[in-house]
Chain A
C-alpha cells in the first residue's frame, strides 16, 4: 500500500495526543564510540522516527468537504459546502466554490478536504503528482505556500494588475476608494468648489470656472448646460483597455480649501466611469481649452467634432454669454468665523494675483523667469577673490542650513535606493515573477477575500530546477548559479510597488527566505 494518506482513521481510532519529540534520545553525541548505550539510543531513536512516519493522518469523515479536480481549468471545484477555510482560501466562479491547486493540496494534507478525480478519491501522493504539474505551481511553489500557511499567514497568488501605479499611489487613490463607496454630494460654502472624487480612474478636464463660488444650493453635476456641453476636444478614454497602466497625468487640484487662494484659477474635475486607464493619446500642446472665465471675451463654443463623441451624446454649439452674466450674482455670505479668519489672513497673506508683474506673465515659463529674477536680486554680493577664480567654492552660504545639509552637498557618494531608475527599465519577459501575496496572520479576522488590501510582503520563489518542457530544456536561473543582477532586482522590486519583497530559495525541499534591506550609512554631524 502506497502513501501515508490513503487510509482514513475514524475518530475513535486516532492516536492519543502526545508531545512532539524535540530530539529523540536527548542530547546528541559528537563521535561514535561504539558503546552499547549509544547503540541502544540509536535503536530507540529509529523506532520513534519510524513510528512517526507511519502515523496515519487523522481525518474526521463527517467534516470532510468533497472536491473535484478539473484539469482542463486547472482548479478544484467544491462539491459540498466549504468549511472554515473559506474565509481565507478559495474563490467563486460561475456560482461554484473553487480552490486553487495549491490550496486544495494543502487542505488535503491537513485532512479538511477529500479530493476526487474521475470519481476516485486521490491519495496525497496522487494529488501531488496530478495537481502540481503547472508552470505557475510547481513543487517548489507549493512547498513555500505550505510553509507559510503552516505559520499562519494568508497566502494568495500575485496578480500584477492589482498593483497601483506610482501615480495612483501618489494620489493615495487606493485608500480613498476604500473609504468612500459613493461620491460625496455634500456642498461646502467655501471659496473653492469642492473636488468630487468617485471611484473611477479617469479624470476629465472641464471648463475652468473662475470666481468665488458657484450658485449656492446648486448641486455639483447639476444641469448647468456649460458642464454638460462637450468641449471641442475631450480627453476621454474610450477604449476598454487593460486595468494596468498610468492614469492621465493631468495635474489635479486636491480641492482643499486652504490650498487655493480665492482668486486663482480653479479647475473643476469630474470623473467618468471607464473600464480602464491608459497612457494619454492626446497631444495637449495642440489642443486648446477655451477659457471661459469672466474676464475673457470667449463665450462662444463651437459644436464639437461628432467623431469624438459617443453615439448617444449629441453636440451643439452654444453661446455662453447669457449664462456668464448669471453667475456670481448671489452675494457670498460668510459666517462670522469666516469673516474673522479672512481679516486675520489679510494682514499677512496676499494674493499672488494682486502683483502686477505676475499678472503680466502669460504662462508658467514667464512666471518662473520672474521668480528667478527676483531671487537673483536678493542674493548678496559674492566676494570676488572666492568666486571669480577658476576654482570656486562648492557651496553658497544661503544654500546650507545645517551641518547635515552641508555634508550632503559636498559628499561624493550619493545614497541610492533600489528603485532609482527602476521606472525607466524596459519590460523584460525573462524577468523574475512575483508569485505570492502574503498577509499577516493576525489580520485573519478582518481579512476579506474580495478586498484583501495591501499585503505584508510579496514572495518571489526561486528554485534550482531543470524542467524539461516539450520544446527542450529550460533551465531556470537559479540561486545555485548566481544571484540575480541588479537590473533584475530593480525590475522585480518596481513590480512589487511599495510592498517589501522576499525571496524564497528552495533547494530540493529546504527553504530559506531572504530580503533586501535598506541601509543608510550613518552621517556624523555632531562636530
Chain B
C-alpha cells in the first residue's frame, strides 16, 4: 500500500493548515438559521438548506418524511426537509460565520469545547475527545474546499467528494482516530481493504492537541499483487 496525498484531488498542492472558508461571513440577518434541540441540528427553511449546500458546501442529510404517492398515483418522492446537520458541520458553520445556531430550549447548555477559540486550543494538553477530533478534521478538510458527507456506509467518518455529491463519486473515506492509543494493524487493513473494494482511497486523519490536523492517504497497490 502506498501512503501519500497523491490520489486525492483537492488535497495535494495545498499547504497543511490553510483554510479557505469558501465564502466570507455574511451579515447575521442573512445567515441561514440552524435550530439546535438536544444535541441535534436541523434546518427548516428551503432557502437556508439551499444556501448551505450550494454556497457553503455543507450537505447534511434530508430527514423529513417523504409524501406518499400523489393523488394521481405518481411515484413517491425522495426525503424532504428538515435538513439535519452533524455537530461538526454545525460547529464549522458557526465558527466560520456561515450560519447562526439557535437553541430551541433556552435551558440548553453550550456544548463543552464549542466556544473555544484559537487561544484555548493551544493551551489544551489533555487528550481530546473523539467528537473534538472529528470536528477539527472536518474543519480542516472542509476548509480546503472539499465536500464532505457521512461515511457510515463505508465504515469511516466522512466521505470526501471533489465536487457536489450529487454529481461526483466520492474519492476517499476519511477516518478519524478513535482514541489517542495505537490502533491495531488489523483494523487498518480491514479499512483499507474495504476502501479498495469500493475504489476509494482511505484517508487516515490525525488531530493532535497541539498542531494542525493532518491526513495520510492509503491506496492499495493492485499492480504489485
- Point out residues on A near B: beta carbons under 8 Å: 2-4, 11, 14, 16-20, 23-25, 28-32, 38, 41-42, 45-46, 49-50, 52-55, 57-58, 60, 106, 109-111, 124-125, 128-129, 132-133, 138-140, 143, 146, 149-150, 465-468, 470, 473, 480-481, 507-510, 512
Known contacts: A3-B45, A17-B73, A49-B53. The answer to whether A32 contacts B37 by CB under 8 A is no
Cα–Cα distance between A133 and B35 once the two chains are bound (Å): 14
Given contacts A2-B45, A20-B77, A42-B167, whether A58 and B67 have CB atoms under 8 Å apart is yes
- On whether the beta carbons of B67 and A111 are closer than 8 Å, the reply is yes
A17 touches B150 (CB 8 A): no
Total interface residues in chain B, CB < 8 Å: 58
Residue of A nearest to B87 (CB): A508
Interface residues in B7-47 by Cβ distance below 8 A to A read 9, 35, 37-42, 44-46
Interface centre among A41, A53, A512 (most CB of B within 10 A): A53
- Chain B contacts of A149 at CB under 8 A? 65
A residues less than 8 Å from B62 (CB atoms): 53
On whether the beta carbons of A3 and B130 are closer than 8 Å, the reply is no
A421 to B42, CA, bound (A): 44
- Interface contact A45-B168, CB-CB below 8 Å: no
Contact of B168 among A3, A20, A29, A111 (CB under 8 A): A29
Tell whether A14 pairs with B70 under 8 Å between CB atoms, given A143-B63, A466-B111.
yes
- A-chain residues with CB within 8 Å of residue B61 when the two chains form the complex: 508-510
Contact: A52 with B77, CB < 8 Å?
yes
16 contacts between A and B (CB under 8 A): A18-B74, A20-B77, A28-B168, A29-B167, A42-B163, A53-B46, A53-B62, A57-B67, A124-B64, A125-B44, A128-B42, A466-B111, A468-B39, A468-B109, A480-B130, A509-B60
Within 8 A of A (CB), among B170-223: 171
How far apart sit A423 and B73, CA to CA, in the bound complex (Å)? Answer: 51
Of the listed residues A28, A29, A38, A46, the one surrounded by the most CB atoms of chain B closer than 10 A to its CB is A28
CB <8 Å contact, A31 and B162: yes
A150 and B40 form a contact (CB under 8 A): no
Q: How far is the CA of A289 from the CA of B68 in the complex (A)?
A: 66
B78-86, B91-99, B136-144 - interface stretch: B78-86
CA distance A430 to B81 in the complex (A): 34
Q: Is the CB of B80 within 8 A of A4?
A: yes
A4 touches B9 (CB 8 A): no
A32 touches B67 (CB 8 A): no
Contact B71 A14 (CB under 8 A): yes
Q: Does B120 count as interface, using CB distance less than 8 angstroms?
A: no
Q: Which chain B residues lie closer than 8 Å to A58 at the CB level?
A: 67, 70-71
- Give complex CA distance A2, B150 in Å: 26
Name A11's closest neighbour in chain B (CB-CB): B71
Q: Taking the nearest CB of chain A, how far is it from the CB of B4, in angstroms?
A: 18
Residue from the list B38, B82, B107, B163 in contact with A465, Cβ < 8 A: B38
A109→B84 contact, CB < 8 A: no
Cross-interface CB contact of B164 among A14, A31, A42, A54, cutoff 8 Å: A42
Contact status A139-B37, CB under 8 Å: yes
Which residues does chain B contribute within 8 Å of A17, judged by CB atoms?
69-75
User: When A11-B71, A17-B73 are in contact, do A32 and B152 touch as well, CB less than 8 Å?
Assistant: no
B166 at the interface (CB under 8 A from A): yes
Question: Which residues of the partner chain B approach A19 to less than 8 Å between Cβ atoms?
Answer: 74-75
User: Known contacts being A128-B42, A480-B130, A509-B63, is A31 close to B78, with CB within 8 Å?
Assistant: no
Query: When the two chains form the complex, which single residue of B69, B80, B81, B169 contacts A30, counting CB atoms closer than 8 Å?
Result: B169
Contact partners of A512 in chain B: CB under 8 A: 152
Q: Which residues of A contact B3 (CB under 8 A)?
A: none
Contact with A507, one of B74, B76, B150 (Cβ below 8 angstroms):
B150
Instruction: Return the chain A residue nearest B9 by Cβ.
Output: A31
CA distance A509 to B71 in the complex (A): 29
Additional A-B contacts beyond A146-B65, A468-B109 (10; CB < 8 A): A3-B44, A16-B72, A17-B75, A20-B75, A25-B167, A46-B54, A125-B42, A125-B44, A468-B39, A473-B109
Q: How many A-B residue pairs have CB under 8 A?
A: 156
Contact A110–B67 (Cβ < 8 Å): yes
Contacts of A480 in B (CB 8 A): 130
Q: Is B104 an interface residue (CB 8 A)?
A: yes
Q: Contacts of A52 on B, CB cut-off 8 Å? A: 77-78, 80
B66 within 8 A of A: yes
Candidates B49, B82, B168; contact of A125 at CB < 8 Å: B82
Provide the bound-state CA to CA distance between A52 and B66, in Å.
11
Point out the residue from A45, A146, A150, A507 that lies within 8 Å of B152, measured CB to CB: A507
Q: In the complex, which residues of chain B have a beta carbon less than 8 angstroms from the beta carbon of A29?
A: 163, 167-169
Question: B66 to nearest A CB, angstroms?
Answer: 7
Provide the bound-state CA to CA distance between A38 and B162, in Å.
Answer: 13
Contact of A110 among B40, B53, B68 (CB under 8 A): B68
Q: How far is the CB of B127 from the nearest CB of chain A, in Å? A: 14
Contact between B104 and A129, CB atoms less than 8 A apart: yes
Whether A53 and B166, one on each chain, are in contact in the complex, defined by CB atoms closer than 8 angstroms, is: no
CA distance A54 to B46 in the complex (A): 6
A467–B74 alpha-carbon span in the complex (Å): 40
Residues of A within 8 A of B80 (CB): 4, 52-53, 55, 57
Q: How distant is the Cα of A139 from the Cα of B42 in the complex, in angstroms?
A: 10
Measured in the bound complex, the distance between the Cα atoms of B81 and A166 in whole Å is 45
Q: Which residues of B contact A509 (CB under 8 A)?
A: 60-61, 63, 84, 150
B108 part of interface (Cβ distance < 8 Å): yes
Report the minimal beta-carbon distance from B74 to chain A, rounded to whole angstroms.
3
Would you give the shortest CB distance from A102 to chain B, in whole angstroms? 11
Residues of A within 8 A of B75 (CB): 17, 19-20
Closest CB pairs A-B (n = 4): A17-B74, A509-B84, A109-B65, A509-B61
Q: How far is the CA of A67 from the CA of B35 in the complex (A)?
A: 25
Partner of A32, one of B39, B108, B162: B162
Contact B169 A129 (CB under 8 A): no
Residues of A within 8 A of B163 (CB): 29, 32, 42
Please measure, in the bound complex, the distance between the C-alpha atom of A46 and the C-alpha atom of B87, giving whole angstroms.
25
Q: Given A139-B37, A508-B84, A509-B60, A49–B166 Cβ distance below 8 Å?
A: yes
Cβ–Cβ contact B70 & A28, under 8 A: no
- Nearest-CB distance from A302 to chain B (Å)? 66
In this complex, the member of B54, B68, B81 whose beta carbon has the largest number of chain A beta carbons within 10 angstroms is B81
Question: Chain A contacts of B82 at CB under 8 A?
Answer: 124-125, 128
Q: Provide the bound-state CA to CA distance between A29 and B162, in Å.
A: 10
Chain A residues contacting B167 (CB-CB under 8 Å) are 25, 28-29, 38, 41-42, 45
Q: Report the separation of the CA atoms of residues A19 and B162 in the bound assembly, to the nearest whole angstrom.
A: 28
Check B70 against A53 for contact (C-beta < 8 Å). Answer: no
Per the bound structure, the CA–CA distance linking A32 and B161 in Å amounts to 10
